[in-house]
Chains A and B, each alone.
Chain A
Amino acid sequence: MGIAEESSMKTTRFTPSKLNLVLLLLALVAPFVLYPVFLMKVLCFALFACAFNLLLGFAGLLSFGHAVFLGTGGYVTGYLMINTGITPELGILAGTLAAGLVGALYGKLAVRREGIYFAMVTLALAQLAFFFYLQAPFTGGEDGLQGVPRGHLFGFIDLANNLQMYFFVLAIFLFGFWLIQRTVHSPFGQVLKAIRENEPRAISLGYNVNDYKWVAFIISAGLAGLAGSTKTLVFQLASLTDVHWHMSGEVVLMTLVGGMGTLFGPLVGAAAIVTIQNYLSGGELGNYIHIIMGAIFVVCVLAFRNGIVGQFRKVLKQNF
């Protein structure tokens, strides 16, 4: 297929552990320099994009309905936090499981098709869910679920404090990121790569490839749900925006801009897109935001097919 190449940093001068350490330090210092809510937004979208990238970059499956998992996680967590008073970690867990469950159902149907048909099936199913959430009595329709309480983590850490919330979100992100990294570099990940590289051959070796795609789909959906649940707590809001197909498109954009099939690409892509959105929406260019994003997308696809991280690695490889 010629897409995604695995992101092994072995060939560059950075060892993965050193780079990870630097990034971790940055993440720990960042909330004291930048606005924590902005950072949390970046982290949530980064996790969402990383989850999406697991499917696109490492299994070669382009889902065009990933918003449904983000939104499902958000609604379930929001509803439970408002109505049952459970602790936030349980609320997030429930949202993640719900998204995983929807992922299991949708994935089962979608992996039976390939390529553009796979994308279409996921889009159709996501639209189905969108209209369901629009009508369902527990989602608040157009208003969404507002004023979702952040609650007390494990019952005693007050998450209303943005700094404490930030570190909670960071921990969630790190867990999700670690799980994706582990999945990619696991025995399962090896088979997934083989399927992406040459599906008929993988079948001839006796692998039921649809089952592997399905499991990857469920993991991806669950982690997208985790991102959605967390996002709902951060903004204290679950709304239709998160299940709309715009959101499904946005995650494609983030992943492609950052670098599909690389571990850090989606993180960089999400940071870039969220930053641009935040910057523009406040200024005079707010009305042109979609045009500007569209232009960025076009430039990326035409000029840096490997995304920011992919391009960066290429330059690094050529010059050092």
Chain B
Amino acid sequence: MTQDLILETKNLIKAFKGFTAVDDVNLQIERGSIHALIGPNGAGKTTVFNLLTKYLAPTSGCLLFNGKDITALPSASIARLGIVRSFQISAVFPNLSVLENVRVALQRKEGNSFHFWKHERVLNRLNDKAMQLLDDVGLTGFAHSKTLDLPYGRKRALEIATTLALDPELMLLDEPTQGMGHEDVDVVANLIKRVSAGRTILMVEHNLHVVSKLADRITVLQRGAILTEGDYASVSADPRVREAYLGVSDDEPVAPVVQPAGPHSIDVAAGAGA
């Protein structure tokens, strides 16, 4: 098999005092794909994310990025290699302006981040680039607002713009549509689709509707271990997945459940109907 893998984990294990949160996970993320990591609450999805970006150190196992072992690197170095993550709660800088949020990401590659003797106006040359990124996510009109004042959905869009500013090879999105209303969910899903051109995305996502729309490949986690892997059709047809998610076996009919779009809602209708 000649797969072009951008990120690979080998026998990744994370144990917290007798509890194995991530159990022997072998992930293979193919370059240029959108890969979704799904699973019920507590399956270890976010822990896997934290391991991949070294916000947590794995108990054992290793991480390979473009074939190179990056297991020993600290978080900031991993980000510098081109693996940039987002967070479950919106990760913005609330008291900076929207423009400044993006600019602080662009600034890193400028090499003047330690220049305390220069006036900050030297950063103005990044404004055009920053505006362009804001434009991409539909935030042009908010550029000079305080980020604190943005509605939630816009903050998530800003987060994506900030991440894109680093031009990452691999974007890790942790529940990008969490806590959003239906309209915002579609906006962000379309945005992710658009920015996926030319890069790889690994996302944790609860909303199966979004997953079905975006993901080329899906890995299902359950109790820290990989349950199954494949495209949406094969994963959603797997009786074990249906059981893990819905607590029903395959031969029981799935009642259409209407749920409000809460933080952990699962779009059951879309999930079962595909």
Residues of A within 8 A of B (CB): 5-6, 179, 182-183, 185-191, 193-194, 197-198, 200-209, 211-212, 215, 219
Contact = CB atoms under 8 A, between A and B. Distances in A.
Given A198-B93, A205-B105, 14 more contacts: A182-B118, A186-B117, A186-B120, A187-B110, A187-B113, A187-B116, A190-B96, A190-B107, A193-B95, A194-B96, A197-B95, A197-B96, A201-B91, A201-B93
B79 A203 contact: yes
Contacts of B104: 190-191, 194, 202, 205
B14 interface: no
B113 A191 contact: yes
Contacts of B118: 182, 186-187
A178 to B, nearest CB: 10
Contacts of B122: 187
Contacts of B15: none
A185 B123 CA distance: 11
A280 B158 CA distance: 54
B107 A209 contact: no
B92 interface: yes
A203 B75 contact: yes
Say what secondary structure dominates the interface of chain A. Answer: helix
B120 A198 contact: no
A190 B103 contact: yes
B263 interface: no
B contact residues, range: 35 or more
A198 B91 contact: yes
B166 A205 contact: yes
B79 A205 contact: yes
30 contacts: A5-B95, A182-B117, A183-B117, A185-B119, A186-B119, A186-B120, A187-B112, A187-B116, A187-B123, A188-B115, A189-B116, A190-B100, A190-B104, A191-B104, A193-B93, A194-B93, A200-B55, A201-B91, A203-B79, A204-B75, A204-B79, A205-B79, A205-B104, A206-B79, A206-B80, A206-B84, A206-B108, A207-B113, A215-B116, A219-B116
Contact of B114 (A5, A198, A205, A212): A212
Contacts of A202: 104
B194 to A, nearest CB: 21
Contacts of A185: 119-120
Contacts of A208: 74, 76-77
A197 B93 contact: yes
A15 to B, nearest CB: 17
A215 B114 CA distance: 8
Interface of B: 53, 55, 74-77, 79-80, 84-87, 91-96, 100, 103-105, 107-108, 110, 112-120, 122-123, 162, 166
B107 A204 contact: no
B144 to A, nearest CB: 12
A234 to B, nearest CB: 27
Given A189-B120, A197-B93, A206 B55 contact: no
A2 to B, nearest CB: 9
A182 to B, nearest CB: 6
Contacts of A204: 53, 75, 79, 84-87, 91
Contacts of B93: 193-194, 197-198, 201
Contacts of A219: 116
B76 A206 contact: yes
Contacts of A197: 93-96
Contact of B87 (A183, A194, A200): A200
B51 to A, nearest CB: 14
The 5 closest A-B pairs by CB, nearest first: A206-B79, A188-B116, A197-B93, A201-B91, A183-B116
Nearest to A180: B116
